[in-house]
Amino acid sequence: MAMSKPFPYKKAGREMRFDEARTWVDSYRKTCEKQVKPIFAEGFSKEVLMKMFADDACTGIRIYHGQQNGEPRLLLVGMDKEGNDMHRSQRGLKDDMPDDGGGSGIYGDGARCPEECGSR
């Protein structure tokens, strides 16, 4: 489906006030309390983000929610200036990729919280 207006990638996202962000997080965590093993967040390294933005066509990041073995996970995919996902199959490369991702442009397996969080 074609978009009727240009994708507002330059305006996507904003810095939030701490109290507003905290309200969102607290609301989500209340929902997670019902899970046997809640996941509150996932952290990704600067290296991963730099790899994504090393492609000059990448103007933003889209975050997908997924599941691995029944547990929530996050997937990061670069976006182009039109708001399209930038992943291997759209770049016209061979669809078979090695286990290490092979340049798919899709990043996952972040450090999960609370298991791998700092002390703050």
The pair of structure tokens assigned to 100 is: 């290490």
Evaluate whether 87 touches 57 at the Cβ level (below 8 Å): no
Polymer length of the chain = 120
Among candidate residues 9, 14, 2, 5, the one with its CA nearest the CA of residue 81? 9
Q: What residues are paired with 112 via a beta bridge?
A: 42
Statement: the pTM of the whole predicted model exceeds 0.75: no
Residue 76, Cβ neighbours under 10 Å: how many?
Answer: 18
pLDDT of residue 113: 82
Residue with tokens 């996507």: 12
The mean-pLDDT minimum among 38-47, 77-86, 89-98 falls in 89-98
Among candidate residues 76, 58, 57, the one with its CA nearest the CA of residue 66? 76
Between these two residues, 19 and 67, which has the higher pLDDT value? 19
Please check the confidence at residue 25 and state whether its pLDDT lies above 60.
yes
Residue extents of the structural domains in the chain: 41-113
User: What is the spatial distance between Cα 50 and Cα 72, in angstroms, rounded to a whole number?
Assistant: 24
